[in-house]
Amino acid sequence: MKKAQLEMGETIFALIIIILLIMMGLIFAFRGEKATIEEKVDTLGNLDAAALAQVVANLPELIYSPGSVKQQSSFDKSKIQAFQKLIDEYPELSREYYFDKLGNVEIIIEQIYPETEAEPIEIYLNDFDVNDVVMSFGTPVKIPTSIYDPVTNQYAFGVLYVTRYVRK
């Protein structure tokens, strides 16, 4: 009887060790898989933000187009100001329209050269509740661009920043 109990105890002990080893192996495997998935999500976030940046760079409401000829990555300063005024005067209507195109995004354009005292221009920011936002989705996309000022008839060099956000 004692020998049978001893053998049964050894069997149970061996099963417990095997189960623990399997569980530890699964934990390590899932951690590795989690890291891989997080890398893929970050990559997809960057690709999504880059695609969104291309949409922003080609919005007819913002681009400079002399004689109806669209210029690559060139923004009209007066159109930017008109766009900001439109969003300020008709916030619900404009957010409804642009939310479908842009989503939860922050779009900023900053003049780099010639240097200026002016702050970067916030073109669009969907008014989401900060408590609902988890993080920016991927890294902000930076697009070099030219900024045309029709008042002075001069060009400036700038950078367009597009940051995508995700909700909880």
Instruction: Answer whether residue 65 is part of any domain.
Output: yes
Instruction: Answer whether residue 152 is part of any domain.
Output: yes
Instruction: Answer whether residue 11 is part of any domain.
Output: no
Instruction: Answer whether residue 9 is part of any domain.
Output: no
**What pTM did the predictor assign?**
0.72
75 membership: H or E segment, kind and range: strand 74-76
Query: Can you give the residue range of the structural domain that contains 136?
Result: 32-167
Q: What does the DSSP assignment read for 94-114?
A: HHHHHHHHH-SEEEEEEEEES
Tens digit of each residue's pLDDT (9 = 90 or more) over 77-86: 999 999 989 8
Six-digit token string for 61: 């409401």
Residue 168 clears pLDDT 60, i.e. is over it: no
Query: Structural domain tally of the chain?
Result: 1
What is the reported pLDDT for 19?
A: 95
